Structure 1
Amino acid sequence: MKNIFIKAIYAGMLIGIAALAYLSLENAIVGATLFSFGLLVIVTSGYYLYTGKVGYLVREKKYFKTVLFTLLGNIVGTLFIALLARVALPNLADKALLLVEYKMRNDLLDVLILSVLCGMMMYLGVEGYRKTQNDVARVFLVIFAVVIFILSKFEHSIANMVYFFLSFSISFKTILYLIVMIIGNGLGATLLCHLDNLAEKK
C-alpha cells in the first residue's frame, strides 16, 4: 500500500498543477484542454487517481483499501500544491475562491448529480485509454473526457480539493459538499464499470 500511496500523492500533485493551469487562463476551452495534461500523465505513468480507480471497485476483489489509500494520497498531493500556490501565486487563490463560491450555491442534489456525471466521464476516459489500441485515439479520449466534464461544470472531487485548499475554504459545508462529490464520482464510475461487466458477460 505504500507504493500506491506514493503514486496517489503524485497523481494529486499532477491534478493540482492542472487545476492551477486552468485557473491561470481566461479561456475555458484552453484551460480545460491544458487540465487534461494532468490526467494524461497519470494514465500513461500508472499513477493512482481516485476518480480513475474507484470505478473498478465492482470488478476487482479486495480493492477497497486500494481506493482508500488512493484517496488519501490524492488529498496529500493536492494540499501540497495548493499550499505552494498560496505562497507563489496568491492571485489564483482569489480566482479559486470565486469558483468555490459558485459551486457552493448549488444544492446537494445538484452536486451529487454533477459528481455522478463527472465520475462517468472519468471512467470513460480511463477505460477508453486502457482498451483502445490506437495511441492518437487514446490521447483524444482522455482529453475530451476532461474537456467535457469541465465545460459542463461537472464536479471532480480531487480537482475541487485544490480549489478548496487554495482558497482556504474549509468549513462544515465545503467538507460536506466534498464528501458528496467523492461519493458521486464513485457512483458514476462504478455504474459504468458494472454495465461494462454485464455487457461482457452477455
Structure 2
Amino acid sequence: MKKLIRTSVDSIFAGVMIAIGAAIYLNCPNRIVGSFLFSIGLITIMELGFDLFTGRVGYIRSREDALNIFLIFLMNAVGCLFVLLLPSGHDALEVWTHRLEVPLYSAFFEGVVCGILIYICVHRSKTRPPIVTVVTTLVAIPAFILCGVEHSIADICFMLAARHFTWEGILFILIVAVGNAVGALAVSLWVAHRHDFVK
C-alpha cells in the first residue's frame, strides 16, 4: 500500500511539473525560448525522481510493471489538472486544435519519436552526473517540441488549458501515448539485448 501511495503521489507531482512547463510554453511569445523553458518541468521530474509516464514506460518488463505504468499515466493526468489554475495564454485553444488536425497515424509516429527522445534523456540521467542530465534535457526537450512530435502528458495539459474536451481529443492522446510507449520500449529493449547479437 505504501508503494502504491508513493507512486501515486510521485506521479501526480510529475503531472504538476508538466502542467507548469506547458503553462510557461503557452505564455511565452517566443516558441524557441518557450521550448527551452518547458524543460524546467522535465529536469525537475528527473532530479526529484518523480514518476512520469514517458520516462518510465520504456522500462516495462513484466505485467506488474505494465499495471504500474497504467497507474502512473492516470495519476499524471490528475496532476495535469493543475494547469487549470495557471494562466494558459491566448493561443492555448489554437495550439490544441492544431494538434487535432494531425492524422492519427502521424500522431502515432510523432509519439514514437518523442518516446525515443525521452527514453534517451532518462537513460542518460541514470548513469551520468546531474549536469549531463540538465544538458541532455535542454537539447532533447526543445528538439521534440520544435520538431512538432507529441508527448502524451503534455498534450493532456494542452487539452485542459484549451478547455476543449472531446472524444476526438481523448483518442488522440491515447494514440500518442501508445506511440510514446512503442518508441521508448523499442530503444530500451534493443539497448538491453543488443549484446546478444555479438558473435
Q: Give the Cα separation in 1 of the matches to 2:194 and 2:48.
A: 29
| Residue in structure 2 matched with residue 12 of structure 1 by the alignment | 15
Question: Which residue, 139, 162, 165 being the options, matches 2:160?
Answer: 165
Aligned with residue 115 of structure 2, among 119, 132, 144: 119
Question: Which residue, out of 125, 137, 152, partners 1:142?
Answer: 137
Shift of 1:65: 1.9
1:128 aligns with 2:128: no
Residue 144 of structure 1: CA displacement? 1.1
| 2:39 is the alignment partner of 1:36 | yes
Q: Report sequence identity in percent.
A: 29
By how many angstroms is 1:179 displaced?
A: 0.8
Post-superposition shift, 1:200?
4.5
Q: Deviations for 1:97-134, whole angstroms, at most 9, x for unmatched residues?
A: 100111111111110110110011100111111122x4
| Structure 2 segments unaligned to the other structure (5+ residues) | none
Q: Distance in 2 between matches of 1:128 and 1:37?
A: 17
The question of whether the paired residues in 1 share the 8 Å contact of 2:43 and 2:133 is answered with: no
* TM-score (normalizing by structure 2): 0.93
Q: Runs of 5+ in structure 1 lacking a partner? A: none
Q: How many residues are aligned here?
A: 194
TM-score (norm 1): 0.91
Deviation at 1:61, TM superposition (A): 6.6
Cα RMSD, aligned residues only: 1.4
Question: What is the distance in 2 between the residues matched to 1:31 and 1:25?
Answer: 5
Counterpart pick for 1:185 among 171, 175, 180: 180
Secondary structure at the residue paired with 1:62? Answer: helix
